[in-house]
Amino acid sequence: MPAVVREGRFNTFQSGEVLALSCTDLTSRGLDTVKYAARKVEEFPNVNANITRIIAAHALKENERLINKANNVD
């Protein structure tokens, strides 16, 4: 995948337009984001190349909203 396409997809992830990003271990190294708090790493032993899948699932902003709601903070 061309770098410009990867960058565009990462930007849509960073902007919150999409809430999940899936990539190989090689691609995931060096991704700099503080917006998402959850990460899921899976190994797929039946695949020739060792693929690690990173899924960022919950935005910090959403976590803060849920905490504030639980604490009755506006």
27: containing domain: 3-70
End-to-end CA, the chain: 43
Confidence (pLDDT) at 61: 62
Model confidence pLDDT, tens digit, residues 24-62: 665 556 666 666 666 666 666 655 544 444 444 445 666
Phi, psi of 42 (to 5 degrees): -130, 140
Question: Counting every residue, how long is the chain?
Answer: 74
pLDDT of 55: 44
Alpha-carbon distances of 72 from 57, 62, 63, rounded to whole Å? 24, 15, 14
| pLDDT one-digit tens code per residue, 4-24 | 888 888 888 888 888 777 776
Count of domains in the chain? 1
Q: What is the pLDDT of residue 66?
A: 72
Residue 56: count other Cβ atoms within 10 Å of its Cβ: 20
| pTM listed for this prediction | 0.44
Output the pLDDT for position 45. Answer: 64
